[in-house]
Structure 1
Amino acid sequence: MIQFKNESITVFQSALFQTTCTVAVTKDIVLVTDPNWLPHEIEEIKHHVARVQGDKEVFLLFTHGDFDHIIGYHAFPGAKVIGSKGLQEHPAKGQKLELIQQFYNEYYIHPPYKIGFPEVDFVISEDGQQLVVGETALKFYLAQGHTHDGLFTLVEPLGLWIAGDYLSDFELPFIYYSAKAYEETLRKAEKVLLNHKVSVLVPGHGQTTANLEEINRRILLSQDYLNRLISAVTKEDREELNALEKEMAFPSNFTKKCHDDNIAIVRREYTGE
């Protein structure tokens, strides 16, 4: 379904995990980010892109390599792919493809497209790197923590900030890679908000916002959670850790595992265990 729309930006939201796909149309390009999940949802995105494309080139942006974000890769043949160096050199490409196939198998879905890991045409390897097409400038920042291969993307002149799996309105940090890197990414987020004219933020899961106070609230929310998590782990405060688990939205076996993984990574990085 369409979650957000203005004259240049359309954000689709999957029924699964509130995962978003952003389609941004500038004078020069159509930028499609993380097309996902279900076949009919990706078809809706494809139809929309066909309506707005005209003679513009389509670029596919992948915020990171988690399987739910790359599942629609082959729905846009011929599109130029943008991704981080970490995505290009992802050490677990085969595992991600197995997860896609497993998803389809579990729900008796015939894969509508060939299953494949994105082959990156434009590799982002450093903060501040840009891709300029005509009057459109895409500016990138490496965003590690949730994964090792994440990206923040700023689309100028639209004022669009595509955040990947950060800065959700409801989802607390899921640390798959590094808590210390996650903290650094949140510090980058503060700088992005300070140094760029941001008018729309799209997280990988959850609601789009055009409110700067809300964006700042989300940064502070994630920072507060990480600070309390690190403190509870280092102090071995089991009561606080249990309380933090209960703050996870949509409590499930999945969120419990994410909480346990968060603890394990913080313990490794901050206590040496």
Structure 2
Amino acid sequence: MIHFQNRICTVFQSALYQTNATVVHTDDLVLLVDPGWLPGEIDEIRHCVGSRRGKPVFLAFTHSDYDHILGYRAFPGARAIASRALAEHPDPERIIAQIRDFDEGYYIVRDYPLEYPRIDHPVGDDGETLRVGGTTLRFDPAPGHTADGLFIRVEPGGLFIAGDYLSDLEIPFVDHSSLAYERTLQKAGRFIGEDRIQLLIPGHGAVTADPAEMARRLDSSRQYLRRLREAVLRNDPAPELERQIAGYSFPKLLLECHRKNRALIRQELTGHEAGRVSSPAGQADEPAR
């Protein structure tokens, strides 16, 4: 289950959707980001966190999709960090209902209660920081995939925890706003371009320490959104994009997401209100990534 490990972080990867949970362990603190999915996987993460006793523990969420918040109450005592938008989510019970539906559908029993996160440190502005000893955590709102996304950077170490952006497995999943998504990619591009990022950790898929691979993922996401918007303006079904997506490892889910992206952008361009899009498979027991 350990996907990557170095001197300051351990990235656990779930069997489900290759979802990453990151444990940052510096001399000053422990930061756990997006713990999930299955009980055995969360137990392994708990053991990692518990083995570093004596340091303050923080629990951060990159966004409110249920696959990223379902481990919240498995870590009592940790101080929770998320965007202000996540803290003020208009319908948190819907998120908890998705977890319950998932657990019931697969007969999953958890040894902790299900609860929407109560946030101790809500982040509202770019560049907010939390300093503990010699460790600095930097936070930036990252809307687009969802309205309540959050980028997390850790210094020293050059970690960039990107949530559901910049995955090698996925096209952009635009559940909130394509324009906000593009602005968030611009923000990510500034971070990567500063040459201070040593490790990119996406919400799903492989981590990378290769600057060229980080730039490739960034450019791929930008190009996809640009080409999709142009296709919608031309009323073109964009078969070349679908052929490109068919070359991914898991194309069925991505093609469904692509069609939802196209519908959302069409709504944006025609002036209709574009609300949050449901999960790619349209089912409550799958995450709206």
TM range (shorter): over 0.9
Structure 2 matches for 1:189-200, cutoff 5 A? 189-195=188-194, 197-200=196-199
- Contact 2:66–2:96 at 8 Å: present in 1 too? yes
Structure 2 match to 1:10: 10
1:260: how far off? 2.3
Structure 2 match to 1:93: 92
Matched, 1:23 2:23: yes
Deviations 1:99-123 (A, max 9, x none): 0000000001113320011100001
- Contact 1:10–1:24 at 8 Å: present in 2 too? yes
1:249: how far off? 4.2
Which amino acid is 1:177 matched to? H
Structure 2 match to 1:225: 224
Change (3 A) 1:178 1:248: farther
Query: 2:251 aligns to what SS in structure 1?
Result: coil
Q: Give the Cα separation in 2 of the matches to 1:247 and 1:262.
A: 18
Structure 2 matches for 1:155-174, cutoff 5 A? 155-174=154-173
Structure 1 match to 2:268: 269
Change (3 A) 1:196 1:54: farther
Structure 2 match to 1:122: 121
- Contact 1:180–1:269 at 8 Å: present in 2 too? no
Query: 2:152 aligns to what SS in structure 1?
Result: strand
Q: Give the Cα separation in 1 of the matches to 2:197 and 2:39.
A: 32
1:184: how far off? 0.4
- Contact 1:229–1:244 at 8 Å: present in 2 too? no
- Contact 2:242–2:255 at 8 Å: present in 1 too? no
Structure 2 matches for 1:3-82, cutoff 5 A? 3-51=3-51, 53-82=52-81
Structure 2 matches for 1:179-190, cutoff 5 A? 179-190=178-189
Q: Give the Cα separation in 2 of the matches to 1:95 and 1:246.
A: 32
Q: How many residues align?
A: 271
Greater CA drift, 16-25 or 257-266: 257-266
Change (3 A) 1:212 1:26: same
Structure 2 match to 1:209: 208
Change (3 A) 1:236 1:243: farther
Which amino acid is 2:46 matched to? K
Greater CA drift, 106-115 or 59-68: 106-115
Structure 1 unpaired stretches of 5+: none
Query: 1:104 aligns to what SS in structure 2?
Result: helix
Q: Give the Cα separation in 2 of the matches to 1:243 and 1:180.
A: 24
1:194: how far off? 2.2
Which amino acid is 2:140 matched to? Y
1:259: how far off? 2.0
State the percentage of identical aligned residues.
48
Query: 1:262 aligns to what SS in structure 2?
Result: helix
Greater CA drift, 242-251 or 159-168: 242-251
Q: Give the Cα separation in 2 of the matches to 1:244 and 1:272.
A: 29
Query: 2:57 aligns to what SS in structure 1?
Result: strand
1:257: how far off? 3.5
1:244: how far off? 5.6
Greater CA drift, 69-78 or 259-268: 259-268
Deviations 1:183-236 (A, max 9, x none): 101111111112361111100000011111111111001001111111111111
Structure 2 match to 1:105: 104
Q: Give the Cα separation in 2 of the matches to 1:234 and 1:245.
A: 20
Which amino acid is 2:30 matched to? V
Deviations 1:22-75 (A, max 9, x none): 001111100000000000000000011111x12101100100000000010011
Structure 2 unpaired stretches of 5+: 273-289
Matched, 1:141 2:140: yes
Which amino acid is 2:221 matched to? S
